[in-house]
Chain A
């Protein structure tokens, strides 16, 4: 792997809007990615291997649950800091960001928000340090965009719950120590349960042959009469709103993360355009290449402004789910377009592992689909502005 020469664009001097602490958080994550991710990520993706050693590294720098209060092992940072961490991790690789997003927003967040004090104390510090890895089970083989139709269910058998069903496309599943599983009660109400590895009847088969997020482990969660202790129920919130609250947090992180992937593609293409000579001059001197670069930096800058404002709203507790949907949809689409244009600028070199672009491009195919597809987020915006539900 060639030296990581990444230099982040800041066309509108957005650093001026960030606090000294935000910049330190961002730069620390950027340094960590240069040191711990850039040298290993290409090989991990080529071999489709999850680089397990990064889990403790992510824990050490504090990328797991950075906004969780210090008493539970987090750093107590704000939402913009969380976004910046996700941006920098995804600049390295969407798979690495996915691992951190899932742990932070989909495992630690629900335990912190919907769990009791005992559950927080038991699980959060180990998740924050990376000693334990978690995953989140909502999507099912027959219910992706329609999670309310889920079939996974549990029965109250007096001294425990009996869990049955299956979840699919679950990041971190093959190596997770715990799973936050969303299942319906006998009253048809969605609840969250903490399922631990080793519980009888619980298995996590790995999903193989992905062309995307190859450095992140994906799998299924299968529950065959799993006895879940009653104290593992997340009792403080139920209904579809509970998992959707987690998704709001994760989607917010993805909106920032996509900017990281886009920045890496833009930066790579910009540098290449100054070095690659065709017809006796750098290709960056030709109008068609400049058009691509100019549009890329314009779109990145717009996306940065969108997420910065969204971060302020999240800090004030005012960001709506629909606002988060807009940013996730816009920014991932922006990153995909940039990855494709950047790939073209590098010609044949763009398809090789010498450069990160094709890896980002393939990763983004997952990112545009998970945590609410591109189309579903559009319908959320549509419903928000018209008041009409076009989902069904």
Chain B
């Protein structure tokens, strides 16, 4: 079985976010990048399947050379090989098209992505990729079991869970639940050394058209300072709600 795990290279969740170039680009200065957490759940599930069935796991990213440490980490965790499509991933349809071009040639049985990436939170690539490949797609997966070419998938729905059955090949967009946080893998030193010898292939981007462009980003307004009022001082509370908050 061949599994493809799509990996986004995203800022660490504790990063301080700033923009440059007239607020049209993310300022990556001093930012630590990590494997997109949603993708990491999928990568971990792929590693478990690899260990149980002997499947091969390929990881792929659309990005510049600066994303290679993230792919190397996936290799150190245990992926067999990595592919980087050399392009700036600024548009979902563009990224999905490039991924689809690669995946079509390789005949993967299972493609796992994250539900969304935690940087731009578009959540559009998985659905588009499945459409381009014309394979079944299940979003927001919290469970996956395989038996031969049959898959049982659990996904989160409003107020509950839905269990689905399907045939491979298929595409899953995963999240926490696919595995738990405690299952996430930390690369071991031997894995880091082995990653050095594993293939990381760079492919030049083929023809794909960007369908959107960014006009600008805005940061949310800074939180206003919190004024603490003594519980007995209702008069002051009323006064402030009237004069400052202007809600009464």
Please determine whether chains A and B interact with each other in the same assembly: yes
- B193 pairs with A24, CB closer than 8 A: no
Interface residue A70 (Cβ < 8 Å from any Cβ of B) = yes
Nearest-CB distance from B206 to chain A (Å)?
A: 27
B93-117 to A contact mask, C-beta < 8 Å, 1/0: 0000000000000000000000000
Interface residue B73 (Cβ < 8 Å from any Cβ of A) = yes
- A32 pairs with B186, CB closer than 8 A: yes
- A75 pairs with B186, CB closer than 8 A: no
Query: Which residue from B14, B68, B189 sits with its C-beta under 8 Å from A28?
Result: B189
Complex CA gap A63/B196 in Å reads 18
List 15 extra interface pairs beyond A61-B186, A76-B193, A81-B189, CB under 8 A.
A7-B14, A20-B68, A23-B69, A28-B186, A28-B187, A28-B189, A32-B186, A62-B188, A62-B192, A70-B193, A75-B190, A75-B192, A77-B189, A77-B193, A85-B189
Complex CA gap A127/B135 in Å reads 49
- For window 181-198 of B, CB contacts with A under 8 Å fall at 186-193, 195-196
Complex CA gap A81/B192 in Å reads 11
In the complex with contacts A7-B14, A24-B69, A24-B76, A62-B196 CB distance below 8 A: no
Question: Could you jot down 8 A-B contacts, CB within 8 Å?
Answer: A24-B195, A25-B192, A28-B76, A28-B189, A61-B188, A62-B191, A63-B189, A75-B190
A5-23 to B contact mask, C-beta < 8 Å, 1/0: 0010000000000001101
Closest A residue by C-beta to B68? A20
Complex CA gap A21/B189 in Å reads 10
Task: Give the B interface residue count (CB, 8 A).
Answer: 16
Query: Which residue from B14, B68, B72, B190 sits with its C-beta under 8 Å from A62?
Result: B190
- For window 1-60 of A, CB contacts with B under 8 Å fall at 7, 20-21, 23-25, 28, 31-32, 35, 60
Query: How many A residues touch the partner, as a band?
Result: 20 to 34
Residues in A neighbouring B196, C-beta threshold 8 A: 21
Residues in A neighbouring B190, C-beta threshold 8 A: 62, 70, 75
Residues on B close to A: CB < 8 A? 14, 68-69, 72-73, 76, 186-193, 195-196
Complex CA gap A70/B76 in Å reads 15
Complex CA gap A32/B188 in Å reads 10
Residues in A neighbouring B189, C-beta threshold 8 A: 25, 28, 61-63, 66, 75, 77, 81, 85
